[in-house]
Amino acid sequence: MDDKERDWTALVQAVADSPKRDNSAYHRAMAEARQAFEAAEAALGGPVQVKTKTKMKRSGEYVVKWVFKPVK
């Protein structure tokens, strides 16, 4: 085994040994986003486009505002 193969093997082993990340909050947020699009399409009667605004509050909260409009 040459140096490149040894380095690659060490890298893959390090990734495999690292703690698994908890993605549950991400998956929950993506599910809520899909539901928001579905609800907007139902309320507006068809395909929608979305505009977002983001803001970092002094309290440390990161706020994202979504505005849905019907596709023209």
Please indicate, yes or no, if residue 61 is contained in any of the structural domains: yes
Question: So what's the pLDDT on residue 45?
Answer: 96
Question: So what's the pLDDT on residue 40?
Answer: 97
- Which has more pLDDT, 7 or 1? 7
Q: Are 72 and 49 in contact (CB under 8 A)?
A: no
Please indicate, yes or no, if residue 67 is contained in any of the structural domains: yes
* Digit-coded pLDDT (tens) for 12-61: 888 888 888 888 999 999 999 999 999 999 999 999 999 999 999 999 99
**Which helix (H) or strand (E) is 65 found in, with range?**
strand 62-70
Please indicate, yes or no, if residue 6 is contained in any of the structural domains: no
Please indicate, yes or no, if residue 63 is contained in any of the structural domains: yes
| Domain with 51 in it | 45-72
**Among 38, 69, 30, residue whose Cα is nearest residue 51:** 69
Question: So what's the pLDDT on residue 4?
Answer: 80
Question: So what's the pLDDT on residue 2?
Answer: 82
Please state the domain count of the chain: 1
60: left (phi > 0), else alpha (psi -120 to 50), else beta?
A: left
**Within 1-72, where are the H helices?**
3-17, 24-44
